[in-house]
């Protein structure tokens, strides 16, 4: 029995030293020290020993068990340390490696155009105002000198709410001119960019939703010369210092006299190209002196004050500026298209 205990001790020491992981170590513990383990089976046979042999074998068995448990604990500590070391190596962060690049978005081309134009006018002393997109017929039409029988008020052109009535989706941002004149005293110098709605079929050049920017200046002694000078500066700020402008007579119900302004083509400098359809000019906006009736309806005395107003379609500017051939591209949110800007 002494020989068996010695063999168990030596064999256990060797196998524990060779154990590769904690799982193997646990299996060895059960195999040697468990209820059915080698050492336990030896101890069960001590009943056959004489009274003199039992204490000797018992003491030896306890020493063997104690030594095996000690080596088991040493092996366990060593393997746990190695496992922790391997885990730390696997989780080590190489601080010299480049980080993951987070792709950032950017402003939509329409927002870029709105910001650029707004900044030009802000630099000229204008203030930005905003207003409701669901508007009343009074502010959208009547206060702007557009009578009830005017074609612009037809249901085929306007999105009315609950049929032709008092409420509609604004067809222009001009109502903000009236709302501003009603609540502020001159001098007034504002721009009003925003979404507008008209009943148009969707195609390469039309959309039921688009953007406009209206401008208004009211003060004593404002003349057509002030209008032309302000808009010429705006055109230079948008298209370049060498830009020239021209004004053509036109008609708008809320201005008198009225005009349309063209700018020399920024692409060819006025020589004629595909962008300007070989004319050398690009239509930019409509403008004119505020109609005295509009001033009077808004509570401003036309005998004391005068002013000018203008409005431009922002999609047209964006398409010309970025050579975009199809208006729908500005609304479809195709990331391949938007990444160009």
Give 16-68 as a 3 state SS string: HHHCCCHHHHHHHHHHHHCCCCHHHHHHHHHHHCCCCHHHHHHHHHHHHHHHH
Tell me, what CATH number does 238's domain have?
3.30.930.10
Assigned domain for 100 exists: no
Q: State whether 124 and 159 are in the same domain.
A: yes
Domain count, the chain: 2
Both 13 and 161 in one domain: the answer is no
Three-state DSSP state, 91: coil
Considering 31, 58, 90, which residue would you say is the last residue of a domain? 90
- Does any domain span residue 104? no
Taking residues 304-328, what's their average pLDDT?
Answer: 91
Q: Is residue 98 part of a domain?
A: no
Q: Is residue 102 assigned to a domain?
A: no
Q: Is the pLDDT of residue 151 over 90?
A: no
Residue 209 placed within a domain: yes
Are residue 118 and residue 60 in the same domain, yes or no? no
If asked whether residues 261 and 194 sit together in one domain, one would say yes
- Are 180 and 279 within one domain? yes
Distance CA 240, CA 172 (A): 28
Q: Are 283 and 163 in contact (CB under 8 A)?
A: no
Residue 158 included in any domain: yes
Give the range among 151-160, 173-182, 292-301 with minimum mean pLDDT. Answer: 151-160
Per-residue pLDDT reduced to its tens digit, 256-288:
999 999 999 877 777 887 767 888 898 899 999
- The reply to whether 43 and 138 lie within a common domain is no
- Percent of the chain past pLDDT 90, that is, above it, reads 43
Clarify whether residues 64 and 157 are in a common domain: no
Task: Residue 315: give the domain boundaries.
Answer: 109-338
pLDDT digits (tens, 9 = 90+) for 27-57: 777 777 777 767 766 666 666 666 677 677 6
Domain check: are 36 and 125 in the same one?
Answer: no
If asked whether residues 84 and 126 sit together in one domain, one would say no
Q: Binning pLDDT at 50, 70 and 90, where does residue 310 land?
A: very high
Of the residues 90, 120, 155, the one at which a domain ends = 90
Of 62, 90, 118, which residue sits at a domain end? 90
Which neighbouring-strand residues pair with 218?
Answer: 188, 307
Q: Name the residue with higher pLDDT: 257 or 153.
A: 257
Q: Are residues 62 and 149 in the same domain?
A: no
Does the pLDDT at position 170 exceed 70? yes
- Asked if pLDDT for residue 6 goes beyond 80, the answer is no
Question: Does residue 127 lie in a domain region?
Answer: yes
């Amino acid at each position: 029995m002494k020989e068996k205990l010695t063999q168990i001790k030596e064999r256990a020491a060797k196998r524990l030293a060779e154990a590769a992981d904690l799982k193997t170590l646990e299996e060895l513990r059960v195999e040697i020290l468990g209820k059915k383990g080698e050492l336990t089976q030896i101890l069960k046979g001590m009943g056959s020993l004489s009274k003199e042999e039992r204490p000797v074998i018992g003491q030896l068995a306890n020493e063997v068990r104690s030594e095996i448990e000690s080596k088991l604990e040493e092996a366990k500590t060593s393997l746990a340390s190695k496992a922790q070391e391997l885990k730390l190596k696997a989780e080590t962060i190489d601080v010299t490696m480049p980080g993951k690049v987070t792709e950032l978005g950017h402003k939509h081309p329409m927002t870029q155009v709105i910001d650029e134009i707004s900044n030009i006018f802000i630099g000229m002393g204008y203030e930005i105002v905003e207003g409701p997109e669901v508007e009343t017929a009074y502010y959208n039409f009547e206060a702007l000198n557009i009578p009830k029988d005017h074609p612009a008020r037809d249901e085929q052109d306007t999105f009315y709410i609950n049929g032709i009535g008092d409420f509609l989706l604004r067809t222009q941002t001009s109502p903000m001119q009236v709302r501003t004149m009603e609540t502020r005293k001159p001098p007034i110098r504002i721009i009003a960019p925003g979404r507008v709605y008209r009943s148009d079929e969707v195609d390469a050049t039309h959309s039921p939703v688009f953007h406009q920017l209206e401008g208004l200046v009211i003060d004593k002694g404002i003349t057509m010369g002030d209008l032309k000078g302000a808009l010429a500066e705006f055109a230079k700020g948008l298209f370049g210092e060498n830009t020239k402008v021209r004004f053509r007579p036109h008609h708008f119900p809320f201005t008198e006299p009225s005009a349309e302004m063209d700018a020399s083509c920024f692409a060819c400098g006025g020589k004629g190209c595909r962008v300007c359809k070989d004319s050398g000019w690009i239509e930019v906006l409509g403008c004119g002196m505020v109609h005295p009736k509009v001033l009077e309806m808004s509570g401003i005395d036309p005998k004391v004050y005068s002013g000018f107003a203008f409005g431009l379609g922002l999609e047209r500017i964006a398409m010309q500026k970025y050579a975009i051939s199809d208006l729908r591209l500005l609304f479809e949110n195709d990331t391949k298209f938007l990444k160009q800007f």
